[in-house]
Structure 1
Amino acid sequence: MSHLTLDTATSRANPTPAPMKRLTIPAIRNRKGKEPLVMLTAYTVRMAQLLDTHCDILLVGDSLGQVIYGLPSTLPVTLDMMIAHGAAVVRGSYHSVVLIDMPFGSYEASLEAAFASAARVMAETGAAGVKMEGGEAMAPTVRFLSERGIPVMGHVGLTPQAVNTLGGYGARGRTNAEHAKIIADARAIADAGAFAIVAEGVVETLANTITAEVSCPVIGIGASNQCDGQVLVTEDMLGLFERTPRFVKRFDDLAGRISAAVETYAAEVRSRAFPGPEQVYPARD
């Protein structure tokens, strides 16, 4: 639950950083056209702690299905999974706005079902809001939640929960019809009260048009550097996976560095060099 805090005397996530004032949803909304918003995914307490001071938004994405659980897509992710990881990220952060993805099947059936799921997420995690995929069809849901005190970030373009309908993960907006549809989706979500919108996997010109035409911040992923902010899956940008999507810049090679460290550890264990005198407890006289 959100009221739980880390015991810094026993937690490996120690020391807990000094609390700072957390950003708010209105502060995020007011960044439209100003300094770009920095957004990354987080699924655990420790990663939240490491990212928090550098980011404006931490997204507990349903991408945890693939990143954490090794699932083939985001579709099997459950509300319970999102809540468990969402609460952890809230506990590990003090500065960033924490948002939680609404998983597939938790909000599409009805306005009431969407509210019940989102209210549970908010109550059990302490997050500031939720993110929902979908365009014009989801606009009534965005309005329903927003009017009842649940801030909503929209998500248009390439929407992974609709991968079976879209036919894959390719860039969207290459045809005139699809271009017009995605612009209409973004307008509908913004008009319904979304405080921000993620535009994923859309051609650059389309991302620029969306950013210019909607009143709320547009956060790009595989879109354009002219968006009001950027988001990436943290494990992708840190180089923890061999495969990197085209739109990802690898800012490090953590997979290589971890492998090298473990190789050294294994060698020292096998040679009995580890543990050494510094890592064992001598007998008392």
Structure 2
Amino acid sequence: MTQLSPARKPAAEPAATPPAEPGKALYGGTRSRRVTVRDIAAAKERGEKWPMLTAYDAMTASVFDEAGIPVLLVGDSMGNCHLGYESTVPVTMDEITLLSAAVVRGTDHALIVADLPFGAYQEGPVQALRNATRLVKEAGAGAVKLEGGERSAHQVELLVSSGIPVMAHIGLTPQSVHAFGGYPVQGRGEEAAQQLLRDAKAVQDAGAFAVVLEAVPAELAAEVTRSLHIPTVGIGAGAECDAQVLVWTDMAGMTAGRVPRFVKQYLALRELLGGAAKEFAEEVVAGTFPEERHTFH
């Protein structure tokens, strides 16, 4: 557990808020338009929790959109689970732009957030604006996401002032895998906790509409959530965050091998899909597919 110094006391617990009206709820409400960052802010004010999933293609995105998931992230996690890379680092702007456009085309209601990949914003605000503009104009994304707290605050500020909503990402930032030497939990210890709080406040002050907290001790994530007026999106950051996100292939049990501790698999999709493929193959070999009802004359 992160220890708080005597000089820094946790923010007071927020007053209880009434549940959202059914028609206004971010998840489960009725909506004839896309979710916007104003809807996200309103959910924070109501004390309403909401889900976010990744998506990388039109068909999968359409399923999640129909399920009412209010925010879909076209994450650079596509590198690991969609493009066959060992990490997110090799993902390019061309790849993010192509798949973001597909997700936009496959949805009607979700807010689509597109990742700025490694190397697309680290040079500074002007580079960040150029690449974020591409995601908004060419792909139709409603917002972009970038990693980093204080070090990325100037990029966030320019994007927001230019009319591009930004979701920030702090804690474990996968694009820094080489610097971290892996994927360790972030924010343990007083100094690291203080830095995470500074990072969170820096991106909020720069204008971010939400901030992802990845692989952060639950107690620290709860403190950050209480300290901010923008929503926190947790992934391995405990239950007190305003929202939760998972990579969809992890959530659905499509990922092979070991998954992170924070993942809950809601389906054994890899097993189901593999079973369907084997059944198809066996019927082809046996000559029982196609049947008459699958045949033209």
For residues 32-69 of structure 1, give each alpha carbon's deviation from its aligned partner in whole angstroms, at most 9, with x where no partner exists.
15221210000000011000132110000000011111
- CA offset at residue 30 of structure 1? 2.0
Q: Which amino acid aligns with 2:78?
A: L
Structure 2 residues not aligned, in runs of 5+: 1-30
**Equivalent residue number for residue 198 of structure 1:** 212
Q: Distance in 1 between matches of 2:144 and 2:110?
A: 14
For residues 205-228 of structure 1, give each alpha carbon's deviation from its aligned partner in whole angstroms, at most 9, with x where no partner exists.
111011011110001000111110
**Equivalent residue number for residue 43 of structure 2:** 31
Q: TM-score, normalised by structure 1?
A: 0.91
Q: Report the 3-state secondary structure (helix = DSSP H, G, I; strand = E; otherwise coil) of the residue aligned with 1:88.
A: helix
Q: Distance in 1 between matches of 2:190 and 2:179?
A: 19
**Residue of 48, 52, 60 corresponding to 1:47:** 60
**Equivalent residue number for residue 277 of structure 1:** 292
**Equivalent residue number for residue 248 of structure 1:** 263
Q: Distance in 2 between matches of 1:21 and 1:113?
A: 31
For residues 172-194 of structure 1, give each alpha carbon's deviation from its aligned partner in whole angstroms, at most 9, with x where no partner exists.
11222111111110110111100
Q: Which amino acid aligns with 1:196?
A: A
Q: Which amino acid aligns with 2:35?
A: L
Correspondences of 1:87-98 after superposition (within 5 Å): 87-98=101-112
Q: Distance in 2 between matches of 1:134 and 1:262?
A: 42
Correspondences of 1:72-87 after superposition (within 5 Å): 72-87=86-101
The number of aligned residues is: 264
- CA offset at residue 140 of structure 1? 1.1
Structure 1 residues not aligned, in runs of 5+: 1-18
**Equivalent residue number for residue 21 of structure 1:** 33
For residues 87-140 of structure 1, give each alpha carbon's deviation from its aligned partner in whole angstroms, at most 9, with x where no partner exists.
000001111100000000011102111111111111001111100000101111
Q: Report the 3-state secondary structure (helix = DSSP H, G, I; strand = E; otherwise coil) of the residue aligned with 1:32.
A: helix
**Equivalent residue number for residue 106 of structure 1:** 120
RMSD (Å), alpha carbons: 1.1
**Residue of 133, 146, 149 corresponding to 1:132:** 146
Q: Distance in 1 between matches of 2:146 and 2:83?
A: 21
Q: Distance in 2 between matches of 1:51 and 1:220?
A: 19
Q: Which amino acid aligns with 1:278?
A: R
- CA offset at residue 20 of structure 1? 3.0
Identity %, equivalent residues:
42
Structure 2 residue 259 is the aligned partner of structure 1 residue 257: no
- CA offset at residue 24 of structure 1? 0.9
Paired residues of 2:81 and 2:255 also in contact (CA < 8 A): no
Structure 2 residue 150 is the aligned partner of structure 1 residue 146: no
Q: Distance in 2 between matches of 1:82 and 1:237?
A: 21
Correspondences of 1:2-17 after superposition (within 5 Å): none
Q: Distance in 1 between matches of 2:74 and 2:255?
A: 19
**Equivalent residue number for residue 3 of structure 2:** none
Q: Distance in 1 between matches of 2:272 and 2:39?
A: 37
Q: Distance in 2 between matches of 1:148 and 1:192?
A: 12
| Aligned structure 1 segments of 4 or more residues deviating by more than 6 angstroms | none
Q: TM-score, normalised by structure 2?
A: 0.87
